Amino acid sequence: MASRPEDASALRSDTIDEPREAVSVRVGGGMLRGSRSGGIARFLGVPYAAAPFGPLRFAPPAPHPGWPGERDATQPGATAPQAPYGGGLEQVLPSVEVAGDEILNVNVWAPGIGAAEEMRESDGAPEATATGRASLPVLVWVHGGALSRGANALESYDGTTFARDGVVFVAINYRLGSEGFSVLDGAPLNLGLLDVIAALRWVRQEIGAFGGDPARVTVAGQSAGASLIAAALAHPDGAGLADRVILQSGPLAARPRERAGRITRLIAKDLGIAAERDAFAAIAPDGLVAAQLRVTAGTTPVTGGPGFALAVGDGLPDPEVALGGGAADAVPVLIGSTREEARLWLEPTGLTARISALHLAAARLSFKIRGATMRAYRRNRPGASRGELFGALASDILLRLPINRLADARLARGVPTWVYEFAWSSPRLGLGAAHCMELPAVFDRLDAADALALTGGAAPESLADEMHGAWVAFATHGDPGWESWTADRPVRTFDTETRTVLAPREDERASWE
C-alpha cells in the first residue's frame, strides 16, 4: 500500500486557500507556466495536437504548431463537444464544459520542486524538470463516458493524490461522439482512438520534462477509456506506447463497420444529410450533439439501442480477439470490474422495476442463455426481481466473462495478469457496486463532490487506502500486491474488508461454457 501523509487533505487540489506559485517547464511546443502548491506542480490544458476543427475536422490528429512566449497552463483546457447526462444519471455522473477549440489537451500533476528552487533556462532548456527529480513512474488516465461524454477537467480525475505518492499523473482529452467515432465516407474510422494514441506518443516524448520516466508509463482507464486502451494495444500505431495497463470496467470488443455506423446513419437521417465527411463537417458541433441526443433517447449500454462504438477497420482488429490471441503479451495487465456494473443504468433511471418477463426472455434468446445458467443466477440471488437478475446477467455478459476469457488466454501463454473486483455496495439510490463506483477509491478522493454523488459519503477510508495503494504500486513496481492470475482464478475483491477470493461465483461463470 502506498504511503500517505498525516493530513492528505493538505495536498488536495481543491484546497482553495492554499497559496500557489508559478513554475515553468519547456516542452516541444514551447514554454508552459503552471502552478505549484503543497509540493505538487500542475500543468493544465496542455495541447498534444492541433485543434481538430476547420480543415482538420474529421481528420487524424495533427501536430500542434506550438506557441510563442510562455503559455498559461494554470486552468483546465477546452472539453470535447458533448451534452450533460440525463434520464436520472445526472444525479450521479457529473459533466463539465470548458469552451474552446483546443480540445486535444492533457493535464499533468507531478511532485513539485521545492519552493526555494527556481526554474531557469540555460542554452534554451530548463535546468531542472518540473519535479526537480528524474525517472518517476507515470500513470496516464483515459476517461470513460460511453465515447460520448467525459473530460479530464472533471473533479473526479484530479491527479493530486497520485503525485503525492510519487507518480507523475497525466489525464487526457479526446474527441467524443460524432466528432470522434462517426463512420463516414471520406473520413478515417475511430478518430478518438487516434487521438488517444497521439496523446500517448506525446507522453513518451515529453514526460521527461515533468520528471517522469518515459520507459515506465502505465496507461489506465475506465469504461470507454479502458476500451480505448485495449484498442490502442491492438492497433499497429499504438504498439510500444504503454509499459503496463489498467483496464477498469471496459468492454473489450469493437463492432464491424456496418454495426458501428448505425448511430452515424441515424444522425444523418435526423439531420437530412448524407453520412459523409463533408456533410457532417457542414454541421456545427453542437448541432451534431443535439442530433445524437435525439436518436439515442431512452437507450443504455445494458438495455440496448444506438450508441457510439469502436469500429473494426483502418488498422484496428477486434481488440478482444487480438489481445486474446497474443497482441500486447509483453504488457502486464491489471483488469477488473465492479460486481454490479449494470445498476448504474438500472437504478437511477428506474429501469429495474420496468424490466418485464418479456425483456428477460428476449435477453435469453439474444445471448443464447441456457437454462442451467439461469438456474445458477437465480440460485445465488434468492428473491431477486427480474430487473436485478437482468442486471446480473448483463454485467457478466458485458464485462466479467470477457475479463475471465482474456485472463485465461494470457495465462495459457505465461503472461502476467492481475484481476480485481470492486464489491463495496453504496447505499445511495440503490446503486450497490455499480459501474463507476470504484473511481473515488482509485483516486483516493472520497470527500470530493463527484465521489459523494456515488457513495453518499459511506465509503470507508480503508477502501481508498487499498485500491489507490494497489494502483500506485502497479504503476511503480509492476505488481499491485496480490497473486497474479492462475488456474485457481484469484480475484482481489475490494470491499469493506479487502481480500483475495479464489474463483468467485464460479458456478455462474462455468455455466456459460
Is 223 a residue of the active site? yes
Give residues with Cβ within 8 angstroms of 404, minimum separation 6.
419, 489, 509
* Among candidate residues 413, 420, 369, 419, the one with its CA nearest the CA of residue 390: 369
| Residue of 178, 182, 223, 426 marked active site | 223
Q: Long-range pairs for 379-382 at CB < 8 Å and ≥24 separation?
A: 379/507, 380/505, 380/507, 380/508
Asked if 144 and 192 touch (Cβ cutoff 8 Å), the reply is no
Please give the grid coordinates belonging to residue 403: 475479463
Is 122 a residue of the active site? no
Q: What share of the chain is helix, strand, coil (3-state, %, to 5)?
A: 35, 20, 45
Q: Is 367 left (phi over 0), alpha (psi -120 to 50) or beta?
A: alpha
| Residue of 64, 235, 435, 468 marked active site | 435
Query: Can you tell me the distance from the alpha carbon of 448 to that of 433, in angstroms, rounded to the nearest whole number?
Result: 18
Helical (H) or strand (E) element with 455: helix 449-455
Please give the grid coordinates belonging to residue 301: 449500454
Strands 333-338 and 417-422: parallel
Strands 490-494 and 499-502: antiparallel
Strands 105-111 and 121-122: unpaired
Give residues with Cβ within 8 angstroms of 198, minimum separation 6.
48, 49, 61, 104
* Among candidate residues 468, 462, 483, 450, the one with its CA nearest the CA of residue 167: 468
Query: Residue 418 to residues 337, 351, 412: CA-CA distances in angstroms?
Result: 12, 33, 14
Strand intervals (E) in 452-513: 490-494, 499-502
* Among candidate residues 19, 18, 22, the one with its CA nearest the CA of residue 34: 22
Is 359 a residue of the active site? no
Centre a 10 Å sphere on the Cβ of residue 436 and count the other Cβ atoms it contains. Answer: 24
* Among candidate residues 201, 202, 193, 156, the one with its CA nearest the CA of residue 174: 193
| Residue of 102, 341, 347, 438 marked active site | 341
Query: Can you tell me the distance from the alpha carbon of 283 to that of 256, in angstroms, rounded to the nearest whole number?
Result: 26
Please give the grid coordinates belonging to residue 388: 436485478
Which residues form the catalytic set?
A: 223, 341, 435
